[in-house]
Amino acid sequence: MIATLSKKDALAYAQKIDLPESTVSLLANGGLAFERIGECAKGNLSMTAKRILALDCYKDDFNVQLETPECIDYLISKDGLVGDGFFLMHNGADIGYCLVYPVKNERRKDLPADYSEVRRRANWGDISRYLSSALDAEGLGENNLYHHYDYAIKPLHMRGCGFGRLVLRYTLDLCLPKNCLSVGFVDYERHSASLTSASKAGCLMGQNVFPSPDGFHPSFLELYSKKMDITFLGEEIAYAHKKDSFDLLPKAIHAVVDAEPKKKLVGFNHALKRFEIVKASLR
**pLDDT level of residue 248 (50, 70, 90 thresholds):** confident
pLDDT digits (tens, 9 = 90+) for 30-43: 999 999 999 999 99
Q: Which domains does the chain have, with CATH numbers?
A: 2-282 (3.40.630.30)
Count Cβ atoms within 10 A of the Cβ of residue 93 and give its class: 0-12 exposed, 13-18 middle, 19 or more buried: exposed
User: Residue 58 — very low, low, confident or very high, per pLDDT cuts 50/70/90?
Assistant: low
Q: pLDDT at residue 260 above 60?
A: yes
pLDDT computed for residue 116 by the predictor: 92
Q: Whats the size of the chain, residue-wise?
A: 283
Q: Say if CB 27 and CB 13 are below 8 A apart.
A: yes
Chain centre to alpha carbon of residue 46: 23
Beta bridge partners of 102: 146
HSE-CB for 34 with a 13 A CA cutoff: 26
Question: What pLDDT sits at residue 142?
Answer: 96
Query: Residue 24 — pLDDT band, cuts 50, 70, 90?
Result: very high
Average pLDDT over residues 242-255: 74
The per-residue b/e assignment along 104-120, b for 16 or more CB within 10 angstroms, e otherwise, is bbbeeeebeeebebbbe
Q: What's the pLDDT at 246?
A: 54
Confidence band for 178, pLDDT divided at 50, 70 and 90:
very high
Give the CA diameter of the chain: 49
Give the β-pairing of 181-186 and 204-209. Answer: unpaired
